[in-house]
A and B are shown apart, each in its own frame.
Chain A
């Protein structure tokens, strides 16, 4: 019965997945088949196990700190391991501000580059440019941090930061002395780290915009830019938002490069020229130095907060990108 229906649907309907054909043909009595299916199933299930494991391990490691500090942990700004005072607010603040700076830089650049790659650039330039962006994505964080310490920061300090101070020194954002390592430098290095992912995901989104959109715009006499803006970018708005959120998720968890350039001082100040600290950097710097149990517990709780924030952001990004993928695919089919 099953065998009879499978080829029929193949002949008339959309392509049948390998699964249904094979299900119809396989003989379930074979031990090898069952064993292999269960083995691969167990392996696939590890992704679910790992999500639970991370959550459980981080909670388990910080349960004492959670009981001791409660909600205050998230809103207290004193971080003094010697006095057993632990508040995560400066790290949460530093993570959010540095990621925000990174997004302000990387989103316009990334989306403009994606639009250039899919709509505006001459054809011969596109593939080499894509390869270069993939290479940028392959540079390890620690190497970007090394370059940040010895090349980027001295240059930033002497030129852009000095200009910014001269122009906007009267605002609280750019007031105070310039040290070099600071919140702004951290944001810039995160921007470099997340540019490849924002660009390549945006490029995929723009590529999935049906050509009919473009043809309609050109048919009405639109220029190249007008077609890009009206028919492509506004059509892909939701997907591009998904790409931005995905970039935010990466920005929040970026560790090595930021740790090397942000200055690592737990404080909440308006000036972007002052050093800051992020959730990920405090883990990188202090984890092996945690001498007391409660110190270690507090660091585990920092890890839990970081995991919580990034998982929420990533869930949102995946949901946004997934609805796009399905709707654009169905539209393309129709």
Chain B
């Protein structure tokens, strides 16, 4: 196809559009179909739904399961746990809502064929920790995808969604989305009555520790390109807690999971001299965060903080003492399966460096930061809560609807609701799916209208990077250096460097401050302008270009929220050098932002944190 020939446009009309076929999107498709038997449910995915999203690789545990049937935990207990881990700032209504439904989701997964390990003595699911159950999860994603494929009216694979469409007749109402097919370059217009954004959070906005080929082995998937935020914030949705990035203490370089080693196999982390170090730092932690240092279990960020202090003192490397934990073949298999199910790369690290975990310990390190809404962190869109338990000011529409009418979210998209993981993200997708059905059914005769001019402008914008390259390459003989365009990888590496050096990445030991953030914003603003000059050599690079744009838009939100919150709430995730302590008097609140699509301005504000569980 010639670059300037007219591209084919496909228009897809649907009642409900689900963007992203990971766990949130699969849950949304299943539940939308269950309640909306006659509605058209369309799922769109930039890869192949069978192996897409954060769980493409597989997983070795389900990290959110109450076990209410055995009276193991109640939803209230889970809210207290997530609140403690996030230093007090969570949407308790949203977390409670996921916790009360999540067991039903996990039981459904087991019925579908997901092998869940059993405790031979009790017959119950084998617990890894209080909230986690062990699974044989290599095929977790294909199993869940099978259910979603049988639920959606249509699944469109390999469509990169770039923008949401807004209603021409009604301000602040969503009307669908646009994107392109990464295989044939066709332009896609989805006109929808309701849209559920279930796209991924953000890897690769901060410079990763690995620098060459290994930059792909980030902890979160490299295809988690911040579309969860890039899409909704550009539609004018209010965002919260975007500063609440997460840093993970994991096996060095491979980023293999540590949960099973700590919780099930009871391996210990020590410094280079075999000493445990967390307990001795409690006084230091108290001086920074006060009563929050007394939370049990110790919050994730504070555990990172302890590792960082130990490394700064020169007592590293930090080691997981695996050799004391796997004394039987059964335990050895659990340890290896933990990696082979979800992080094969860690097994490769061990094989290549001659590390047998039965014989010697393995290094742990804190990762580069990530921005997401489903792990021990809760960035994302401000969403309306469940009618029967959300405080009045947390409700303005259907459950999981953002501040844009008809725009719902699930998984990484929804903010304030940490510790969803796979089962909770699927559950949140189900909640959003049902709510979207209710919304669509109430819309009778009032469907959104799509303005053709809006679509044509977006089409031009979407394909422009191809033209930038096709024209610009004639200025040079050969190679990758051109005066009028940069490649998407060039842009990504500039983004990662800015975020790393000014917004609290690894090279400053996660430290930032107002002057650093303001300088970072100047550079980020120039990068945002340069996004108009990305040159894409083909459709694969066009996908990378749009992933980069979503990452840059998201990064600006991360930076502005970090600047707005004048305290250090989560030492170990990041530090504000100019406000080194937690400040509950001023900042026991959510940070909120709204990007004005017309003026390009950001409005920052605080939103209240209500504690509805004692």
Do A and B assemble together? no
Interface residues of B (CB under 8 A from A): none
